[in-house]
Structure 1
Amino acid sequence: MAFKILSGCWTILLILGCHHLAPIAGSSVNVGQHNIDQILESSELVLLNFYTDWCPFSIRLAPIFEEAARQINNTFWESGRVTIGKVNCDKEESVALKFEIIKYPTLKILRNGLVVNSEYRGQRSVQAFYQFVAQELADPIKEFRTLEELHDINDDTGLLVGYFREKNSMEYDNFRKVANFLKKECQFLAGFGEVTEGLRPDGQNLIIFRADSTLSSHREYYSEYSGNLSSFDDLMAWTDDKCIQLVREITFNNAEEITEEGLPFVMLFYDKNNLQHVQEFKTVVETKLSNSSLVNYLTADGQLFQYPLMHLGKSVADLPVIAIDSFRHMYVFPRYEDIHKPGVLQAFIDSLFNGKLHHQLHYGPEPSTAVWENDTSKADTVPAVVPESQFKQLLPSPHRYTLLNRTRDEL
């Protein structure tokens, strides 16, 4: 009898001990300075909810997030796969500052310890969180088993192809980690064993990059990774450089994310039935323009963004149209054809930073602005149409977030 009682006590102590060592199944983890490094090092995927107890949007989200955590933990219970965590920003100010939190709630995504460029901005429901995590944990790499499959790949985005001797290797594991991080920017394919023989050096693995079909620089269209495949950091840096393009496509799905970066837009509104203008714009940006750290170069489907066009005094019939949106005003580039004249588009962008466009807003257009081309002064009229910014309306909404009175530049 005594043995049974002691046995029962040990069972209870073991259960309590297990719950002490790990979060109770179905709960999110309280994350702070004391445990964040350990969590990031031990979890493949981390979803962090940065909140405060006084934010009404955080309060509404709390029970939804907890139930989502319960369902996610019940399904993806394997150790190290996913951690659903929450950070009380009033109590963990240093963590909030580290992650540059400027609104509540903010839902950050981390893969293998690195912060993913995009936050979770989807629907705040149990089902949406669950589906998001399931999609994030899905294998981002498509395996090819015949060479014919490589010919059927869509060429409208960058492509990374890995030719491996076997799947069970550190080099492939690094490739998979990189793919998880950059799967929205590039496609990832891999082949193993016999199908890759003759496509890689004997006894070695090989990773190649093929740029999307609209990239103008053919010198960079195809390249092979020559670094250390056993180094995740090296492979990540190389792949990031290949996949992250200077010119991005803006849509309603990513507009909030891009506007929150706080950089003025230099935008091409294009006709989706004529993508030649997209390639021309990318060519000019890649080969002729600077300011890449001061502005965001973007392309936008003119049909999708007719409303901003209307405020520029333009319509779909006027495409292509180039404009700057400074988040205060929009400035239209006078003639699209002038992008082929050296220095003209660069001078237009420079006029945003040297005050000429702002001066025009208050005092009207100057008679002309000198633009230098091959040491010859050319006159180009500064545009006079200066409507208010339309894309500032796509910034994070006060109807969805509690916005802090600071920017990331101040952090």
Structure 2
Amino acid sequence: MNMKLRSLMGACALTALAAPVMAETLTIATVNNGDMIRMQKMTKPFTDANPDIQLEWVTLEENVLRERVTTDIATNGGQYDVLTIGNYEVPIWAKQQWLTPLTDLPADYDADDLLPPVRAALSMDDQLFAVPFYAESAMVMYRKDLAEAAGVTIPDSPTWTDIKTAAEKMTDKSKEQYGICLRGKPGWGENMAFLSAMANSYGARWFDMDWKPQFDSAEWKEAFTDYLTMMQEYGPPGASSNGFNENLSLFQQGKCGIWIDATVAASFVSDPNESTVADKVGFAKFPNKEGVDNHGNWLWSWNLAIPASSQKQDAAKKFVAWATSKAYTEQVAAADGWRAAPPGTRTSLYENAEYQKDAPFAAMTLEAITVANTQKSSVQDVPYTGGQFVAIPEFQGIGTSVGQQFAAALAGQMSADDALAAAQSNVTREMTRARYIK
């Protein structure tokens, strides 16, 4: 080999050694909720500590997110390295071996600090398959000033009669002041999350012990009729298009007297930087019907999981551990105050005196999460688990189908009886096709 060629090869080798390591890009699919948007703005400590990892965000509306990540993971598409999914998907997808078990989290992660109901919902055979970013139950948020002006009281543990009475008296449509705002946008995790919880609180159930749908029951009829009455008489226009984010905006703008939804919303409605009514908000338990010992049994968590198809497992594990760590919670608190800390996941947060002082809703949130009975969501016997959902793979399809019927009734396109009859017929057909009904 001549000297010129040898020198050239040596220079190339030195250049290769000197070249920076190519950064890995993690593609993260997430939901457009406030806490997730905040996380995207706070990743500098992570990227500074991990210069070899870049983050690419795919931020989607809730229904669209579920559709895309479900399609991708079921087809082994490999489009995403980190998924934002719920506690509905985690055990189902773990059984399919679609998720990477999180067995080697850093020693300081302290998985034992996770609230037991939340950790249990994300585990199979005592092994975590996702880590919780935030968790929630459901509660009543209401305007104390409007209730006082209307001469009504919303107790700490209200009944639906209390709520209906207050909603009626707090309504003044001439001022765009609506007595109550509830989810109407169709989707198994949108209007059906709320309506399933409401039906549970009326003593209803999705299925009997033979997996036969129960939409023809008196309990479902009463719950759905009361929902329609409240929303059509005391709710905002266009409610069949309103989900969590739309109702949050209405409440923050002072247009809702009562909003019943996820406990995670409490920090947003009481934040003076975001809410025009921050100093006027009261909190109460999810309502129940008189004589029914059930306050909704809602338990949900948004979690970070790693699909087995990802080719960047180590980098993805570093990210999900950081984003759900105690250190991240402290980072949020330092930037935006303890009220803004992602709620519902860690015992240590609810033992923190600063958080208790800054978050007047903390004790009620913890109690709601702790008492949610996802093993028996109805006072009647049921063959399924899940609180505001039914933990079977078919629920995404049937839940969304029923949600569309119920949204149509809310929009005035069909009666309550017709919507319930359509739900009964459609779900019976699908459950028979799936061989649940023999």
TM-score (norm 1): 0.20
Higher relative contact order (CA 8 A, sep 6+): 2
Whose strand proportion is higher, 1 or 2?
1
Whose helix proportion is higher, 1 or 2?
2
TM-score (norm 2): 0.19
